Chains A and B, each alone.
Chain A
Amino acid sequence: QKEVEQNSGPLSVPEGAIASLNCTYSDRGSQSFFWYRQYSGKSPELIMSIYSNGDKEDGRFTAQLNKASQYVSLLIRDSQPSDSATYLCAVGDSNYQLIWGAGTKLIIKP
């Protein structure tokens, strides 16, 4: 059974601090990794993708991938109240079908 695990939270972070979201996966054959943000009552929105080991930065967001340890993380710098949402980790299997984590609820406190 291919699994993607996330801490459900909620994760509470002060405004301006760094929010760190983590995700582990079971399928060693996974090749693609994604972070989605979902606001309450809205659809998931792709915010980061990463395909190779290391860091990938996009504005205030950094995705980190470690295939040997089978984890992927998302860092959000200078957290804003507008970052409050549920963050979904998704991992592509060998057929590029996405396996979804249950999501981490992030709350940014002003």
Chain B
Amino acid sequence: DAGITQSPRYKITETGRQVTLMCHQTWSHSYMFWYRQDLGHGLRLIYYSAAADITDKGEVPDGYVVSRSKTENFPLTLESATRSQTSVYFCASRGQNYGYTFGSGTRLTVV
């Protein structure tokens, strides 16, 4: 199906573990983004990518790593999860009208 998909939808992990959130889009959009959304903070940009092998930090990059070896995939890795990284994570891609389309999100809980 065309669109942008995230996996998993829900994840519970322990403090200190590495966890990777997946994002896949079928439109071949150049730009992709990772956001986290927490009550009281709205959407905060973690990392973004302008094309394959081009990534850049957003507002809150600490503790996160991204890669983009293929245009369609943009995984986000938490190298050593902390409780403060409990959040809802959204991946998005940017279309030709410059609007973003979001995936369904991953609800991550770090215990």
Contact = CB atoms under 8 A, between A and B. Distances in A.
Interface of A: 32, 34, 42-46, 49, 88, 90, 92, 96-98, 100-103
A43 B102 contact: yes
B74 interface: no
A90 B94 CA distance: 13
Contact of A98 (B97, B100, B104): B100
Contacts of B100: 34, 44, 46, 90, 98
A100 B43 contact: yes
B42 A100 contact: yes
Interface string B91-106: 0001001111111110
Contact of B99 (A43, A49, A103): A49
Given A96-B98, A103-B42, 14 more contacts: A32-B97, A34-B100, A42-B104, A42-B105, A43-B102, A44-B90, A44-B100, A44-B102, A49-B97, A49-B98, A49-B99, A88-B43, A97-B48, A98-B100
9 contacts: A32-B97, A32-B99, A45-B102, A46-B99, A88-B42, A88-B43, A100-B43, A102-B41, A102-B42
A102 B43 CA distance: 7
Ranked nearest first, the 6 interchain pairs of A and B with the lowest CB-CB distance are A102-B42, A43-B102, A100-B43, A96-B98, A32-B98, A46-B99
Given A100-B42, A101-B42, A46 B94 contact: no
A79 to B, nearest CB: 23
Contacts of A103: 42
Q: Which of B98, B102, B103 has the most CB of A within 10 A?
A: B98
Given A44-B90, A100-B42, A92 B98 contact: yes
B80 to A, nearest CB: 27
A24 to B, nearest CB: 15
Contacts of B90: 43-44
Nearest to B90: A43
A102 B85 CA distance: 19
A94 to B, nearest CB: 12
